[in-house]
A and B are shown apart, each in its own frame.
Chain A
Amino acid sequence: MAFGPITLTLALPLLGALVLAFVADDPRVVRIVGLVASVATFVASLIIFVDFDVSNPALQLEERMSWVPAIGADFALAVDGVSLALILLTTFLVPLILLASFDSVTTSLKGYVAAFLALETAVIGVFAATDLLLFAVFFEFTLVPMYFIIGIWGGANRRYAAVKFFLYTTLGGLLMLVAILYLFSQTGSFDYEAIRALELGTTEQHWLFAAFLLAFAIKVPIFPVHTWLPDAHTEAPTGGSVFLAAVLLKMGTFGLLRYALPLFPDATVAWAPWLLGIAVIGILYGSLVALMQSDIKRLIAYSSVAHMGFVVLGTFALNATATTASVVQMINHGLSTGALFLLIGFLYERRHTRQIAAFGGLAKRVPVMAGLWLLVSMSSLALPGLNGFVGEFPILLGTFQTAPWAGVLAAFGAVLAALYLLWAYQRMFHGPLVGADNEHTTDLKLREIGVLAPIVVLIVAIGLYPKPLFDLVEPSVERVLTEVGVDAPAAEPAAAQTDQ
C-alpha cells in the first residue's frame, strides 16, 4: 500500500502546522486548529491500531513510496507492537499537552503550537520509518522544533539549555548516520529488513553497535551522557518537558530495541553485561542526585535518568519477561513523568517558582492537586496497583533470572525513588501552611483536571490490567530476542543445583 493510516497519522500534524502558517494569529483560531489536528492524529493512530494484527510479531501495514530513487531510499513506513504502542502514547499526549499550554504560553502561541505539531510528525516518523535513511532524517529533525520550543518558550537560562541539547544530541546522531551509510555500502539498500538480513562480522558489529549506542544513549539518556537532560527539562516550557520526558527519551530506548539489538546481535550479547552495569549505576546515581535537588523540575529530570535506567536494564537483560516489561515501562514512564511535569507546570503558573523550599503545607489549600500529585508520585515509585509496578517489577524479576546481581542492585532503586518523591511531596504539601504565597495558591481548575484525568485513568487501568499492553508489545519483543539468539529462556526449575 502506498498510502494508509500510518502516513495519515504522520501527515496530519504537519498539515495542521501548515494550516497555522496561513491563519490569523488569533489565539482562538490557533487553539482550534491545534486541537483539531492533534485529535485527528490520535484518531488516525487508532485506525492503525484497529488494522493491526496483535499476534503478528513482524513489521506490518507497510506503506511505501519511492523517495530518493538514485540511492534506493524509500519513504517506507510500518509498525510493530512496540512502535505502535509508542505512536499511540505520542498521539494520546499531544492534545493534552496543547490543552495544558493554551493559557500558559503568552508569546506567539501560533509558533508554539506549530512547533509541537511538527515535532509530533517527526517523532511518529522515527517510530514508523522502516527505511534507515528516513529514520535518520526524522531522528535528526526532532531536534529542530524541540530546539525552538526550549529556546523561545523556555525559562531564564533557555539559550544555554537549548544549545546544549542541540549539540549534544546532534553529536550522537552524526555517528549513527555514518554507521547507516556503512550499512548502506554493504547492502546497497536502506531498507530495514534488508539490513537486518545482513550477516556482519564481529568487529564490524562492535563498531556499528557503538555508533548506534552512542546516538541512542544520549537520547535515553544513559549515564554518563545524561547531563543535557536536567538543563533541557528545567528550562523547557511545561509542554516541552512533558513531551521530552514522555516521548523524546523513548526514541533512544526504542532505537536500541529496533536497531542496536537485532542488527548487531553478537555485539549486543557481548556488551549486555556492561550495559546492565551502566543501567544499574544510572538507577542508583540518578536517584541519589535527584534526592539532593532543590528545584522540583530538576528532581524529576534526574528521576527520569533513574527510570530510564530501568528501561535500559530490562532491554539488555535479554529476557522475554524483562525486555517486554521494559517496553511497558517506556509507556508507563511517559504517563507518570508526563503527568508530574504537567502538575509542576500548573503549580509554576500559580507561583512562578520551582524551588521546593518556596512551598509548604499546600495539601491543606489545594487538596485536589495534592491528591493527584501523590497518586502520580506513587505511580512513579512503582506502587502496585498503579502502572509503574507492572513495568518495574517484571523488569527486575526478569533481570534477576539472567543477571542476579543487576536485579538485586537495581531493586534498591525502589527505596530511593520513594525517598526522593515522598520527601519532595512532604516539603511541598505537608507541614504547616506558611507564607502568603502558599496561603493564596489556588487548586486545580476543571480544565487542568480534565487534562490530567485521561492520564490518571490510564495509570490506574494499566496498573490493574496491563495484559492488553503486554499482549501488544510482547510478540515484537520476542522477535527481537530471537534475532539476538536468546529465545525467551525459560525459568529453570533447578532447585537442586542452586545451593547457596
Chain B
Amino acid sequence: MTFLLAAEDHAATANEVVEAASGFVGLAWLIPVVPLVGFLLVLALTKTLRESAAFVAIGAAAVSFLLAVGVATQVLGDPATYVRPIGTFIQAGEFSVAWDLYIDQLTTVMLLVVTGVGLLVHIYSLGYMHGDARYERFFAYLNLFLSSMLVLVLGSDLVTLFVGWELVGLSSYLLIGFWFEKAEYASAAKKAFITNRVGDVSFMIAMFLAFSVFGSLAFTDVLPAAGELSSGTALALVLLLLGGAAAKSAQIPLYVWLPDAMAGPTPVSALIHAATMVTAGVYLTVRMSPVLVQSVPGMEVIAWIGIGTVLLGALIALRQDDIKKILAYSTVSQLGYMFVGVGVGAFREGIFHLVTHAFFKGLLFLAAGSVMHAMANRTDAWGMGGLRKAMPITFWTSAIGWLAISGVFPFSGFFSKDQILTEAYNHGYFAIWVLGLLGAVLTAFYMSRWFFLIFLGERRFGDDVHPHESPASMTAPLIVLAALSLFGGLLNFEHSGWLYTFLAPAVADISDVGYEAAGGIPGFGLIGAAVVAGLVGIGLAFLVYVRGDASRGRMLEPIRGVPAEVLERKFYVDELYSLVFTRIGGRFADAMVWIDTRIVDGLVNGAGATSLAFGRVTRRAQTGLVRGYVGSFLLGALVLVGFLLYSVVV
C-alpha cells in the first residue's frame, strides 16, 4: 500500500485515501466481472447449459457475495478509502476518466446489500421462474444486472458510476420487458428507460458543470474540493444531481415508471425495483454529500421532494388492489423517506433505511411472488384471503416484513424510519417531521390492508385455485430476509449506533451546517410518536379489514367517492404526462416532419422543378411551376437575407 494523500481539513474522522492492490480490495474488480462473465457464458451457451444455466448464474452471484464479504472484512479491519487502480477509460484533451474502483465504508455497505440480496433473489428465481420458456435468459439478465449495479457502486468517478447507472437501466429494461409478447409490458420497459433518460440528461449536465468547476469527475478530486464551491454553483449542482437521482429512485416528478415496472417477473421487482437499483439515487446523493452540504437550500429541496413522494406514494397505495402495485407505490414512498434523510442532513440514517428497506421490501416482494405462485399468478388482493393456513412460511415471513415496514418496535424498519424522522426534527424541519409521521400512519395502514386481505379472514376465491406453500428454493430466501428484517435494527440499535459510526468517515460532516432542533420534544417523545404512528395505522386497518366483513369486498373501503377515484387513477399524473408528451409532443414532432417535407425539402425540389421548367414548358407544370417559383423565390430571399445578415455581423 502506498499512501496517496491524506485527507486534509475534513473532520478528524475522515478516511485516508489509500491506493491499494492487495488483499480483497485488490480482487475487487472481480466482483462485477464474475457476474458479467456469467451473463456472457449463459447467453452463449444457453442451448448447452439448459437448466444448469441457473447454477452458473447463482455461482457467479455467490462468488461476488463472498468477495464482497472479503472486502468488507478488509475495510472493517483497516478503515480507509481504498482506490484500486485499474486503468484509463477515456482520455480526451483535459478530460480523463479511469476505471479505478473506489472502496470505502459506504461502498462496502452497498456491496453487501447488492450481492447479498442479489444472491438470495437468484436462488429464489430457481423455483419461481421454473418452467419459463426463457428460463436461462432470465438468469443471464440477472447476472448482467448484478454486474452493472456493482460497477455503479464501485466506480471511482462520476462517469464510471454513470456507466453502471445506465447499464442497470438496460438490465431493468430487459427484465421489465422480459415477457415482451405482452404489448403493455414492452411499453412499461420503454417507459422506464425513457423516463430514466430524462433524469440522465440532468445528471449529465451536473457532470459537465462539475467538470468545469473541478477539472475532474473523480471522487478523490471532487469530494475534497467541494468546499470551494460557490453557493450558486453548489445549488445548481445539487438540483441537477437530484434530477438524475429522482428518475432512478422514482421521486416526484419522475416516479411514474416504477409502478409500471411491476410488469417484470416478481424476483426482478424485489431485487431491482425495490432493494437495489432504485436506491442508486440515494447512493449517488450520499456519495456526493460533501457537495450537498455546500447548499442547504438545495438539500431542502431534496427533503421536500422526498416528503412529497412519501405522501404521494402512500396515498396512492391506499386504493390499489394489485398486491404488487401496492408494494410498488410503497417503494416509491419509502424511497421518499430516504430522500428526506438525505435532504435533512441525515445521510447515514438514509443509508440505514436503504439497508433495512432492502431487507423488508425485498422480503415483501418475494412473499408476494410466493403468493402469486400459489394463486396461479393472480394479483388482486380482494380475490385472496385466508392464505395463512395454506402457506405458513410465506405467512410468517410476510408478517415480519409487514411489521418491519409498518415501523413496529423492535423490527428493523422501526429504527431506520424513526431515526430519519428524529433527525428531521433535530435539524429543525418540524413540518417534515409531522408529515413524515403522517406518512408512517398511512404506511402502516396500507401495508396492514395488504397483509390482512391476503392472509387473514376467509378465502375469497373459488375452487379452481389450490394455494400451496412454495418450494424450498423460494421459502429459504424468505426466511433469510425475514431474519434480516427482524434483526436488522441491531445494525444501528441506538441513534449513534454501530452503522452510524462505521459510515461516519464516508459521508459529509454536518457539524458546520448549524442545524438546530425544531423544538423541545425530548428523544423518547419522538420515539413514542413514531411508535404511536405505526400502531394507529395498523389499528385503523384492523378495524376496517379484519373486524369488517371482508366478504363485502370493496364496499368495505373507507375512502369512497371522488377521493377514491382520484387515488385509483393515481392523481391523473399518467394522463397528464401522456397529454403533454405524447399528444402535444407528438404534434410538435409532426410539425417538424411537415416542415422537413414541405419547406426544407420542398425548396430543394422546387428549385429542381424550376430549372426543369426552364427547359420545357408543359401543361402539367402549372402546379410544379407555382411551387417552383415560390420555392426559388424563397431560396433567393434566403440567400439575400443571409448575405445581409452576414455583412451586418462581420
Chain A residues within CB distance 8 Å of chain B? 164, 167-168, 202-203, 206, 223-224, 226-228, 270, 285, 288-289, 291-293, 319-325, 328, 361, 363-364, 378, 383-385, 389-390, 393-394, 396-398, 400-401, 404, 407-408, 411-412, 414-415, 418-419, 422-423, 426, 429-433, 464-467, 470-471, 474, 478, 488, 490-500
Contact = CB atoms under 8 A, between A and B. Distances in A.
A415 B166 CA distance: 13
Interface stretch (B333-341, B377-385, B522-530, B586-594): B586-594
Nearest to B166: A384
B229 interface: yes
Nearest to B199: A415
A376 B30 CA distance: 27
Nearest to B213: A495
A144 B233 CA distance: 55
B409 interface: no
Contacts of A206: 646, 650
16 contacts: A164-B608, A206-B646, A227-B604, A289-B592, A289-B593, A378-B170, A393-B159, A400-B205, A401-B211, A404-B212, A408-B205, A414-B204, A415-B197, A430-B183, A431-B183, A497-B230
B129 to A, nearest CB: 17
B194 A418 contact: yes
Interface SS, A side? helix
Interface in B193-235: 193-194, 197-198, 200-201, 204-205, 207-209, 211-215, 225, 228-233
B95 interface: yes
Specify which of B166, B167, B187 lies most central, judged by the most chain A CB atoms within 10 Å of its CB. B166
Interface stretch (B65-73, B86-94, B388-396, B551-559): B86-94
B596 interface: yes
B186 interface: yes
A390 B93 contact: no
Contacts of A363: 180
Given A288-B589, A292-B593, A168 B604 contact: yes
B181 A393 contact: no
Contacts of A389: 163, 166
Contact of B95 (A167, A361, A394): A394
A494 B94 contact: no
Given A415-B198, A496-B228, A498-B233, A430 B180 contact: yes
B410 to A, nearest CB: 43
Contact of B94 (A223, A285, A488): A488
Given A206-B650, A426-B186, A467 B91 contact: yes
Interface residues of B, number: 63
Contacts of B212: 400-401, 404, 491-492, 494, 498
A441 to B, nearest CB: 15
B600 interface: yes
B480 interface: no
A500 B177 CA distance: 42
Contacts of A167: 608
Given A206-B650, A226-B600, A498-B233, 10 more contacts: A289-B589, A325-B92, A385-B163, A385-B166, A401-B211, A407-B205, A474-B92, A490-B215, A495-B233, A497-B230
B89 to A, nearest CB: 8
Contacts of A324: 92-93
Contacts of B588: 288
Contacts of A465: 87, 89
Contacts of B230: 495-499
Contacts of B214: 493, 495
Contacts of B608: 164, 167
B532 interface: no
Nearest to A328: B92
A499 B232 contact: yes
Contacts of B180: 361, 363-364, 429-431
B494 interface: no
B359 interface: no
Contacts of A228: 604
A419 B91 contact: no
Contacts of B229: 495
B93 A319 contact: yes
Nearest to A203: B650
Of B189, B586, B589, chain A has the most CB atoms within 10 Å of the CB of: B589
A493 B200 contact: no
Interface in B295-322: none
Given A227-B596, A384-B167, A430 B177 contact: yes
A415 B182 CA distance: 24
A363 B178 CA distance: 11
B201 A414 contact: yes
A21 B634 CA distance: 47
Nearest to B227: A495
Contacts of B170: 378, 383
Contacts of A490: 94, 215
A202 B647 CA distance: 12
B575 interface: no
B596 A491 contact: no
Contacts of B177: 430
B93 A414 contact: no
Contacts of A471: 91
B207 A397 contact: yes
A407 B228 contact: no
Interface in B604-650: 604, 608, 646, 650
Given A430-B177, A493-B214, A383 B167 contact: yes
A455 B162 CA distance: 25
B565 interface: no
Q: Which of A228, A288, A385, A470 has the most CB of B within 10 A?
A: A288
A404 B205 CA distance: 9
A321 B212 CA distance: 12
Nearest to A293: B593
B190 interface: yes
A500 B236 contact: yes
B601 interface: yes
Given A227-B604, A400-B209, A431-B183, A412 B201 contact: yes
Nearest to A432: B181
A203 B209 CA distance: 37
B208 A396 contact: yes
Contacts of B600: 223-224, 226-227
A321, A363, A430, A478: residue with the most chain B Cβ atoms closer than 10 Å? A430
A289 B232 CA distance: 37
A346 B650 CA distance: 51
A383 B183 CA distance: 24
Given A414-B197, A430-B183, A499 B233 contact: yes
Nearest to A226: B600
Given A398-B95, A498-B233, A466 B90 contact: yes
Nearest to B229: A495
A496 to B, nearest CB: 6
A434 B555 CA distance: 41
A149 to B, nearest CB: 21
B91 A431 contact: no
B215 A493 contact: yes
Contact of B92 (A289, A398, A497): A398
Contact of A470 (B91, B94, B209, B590): B91
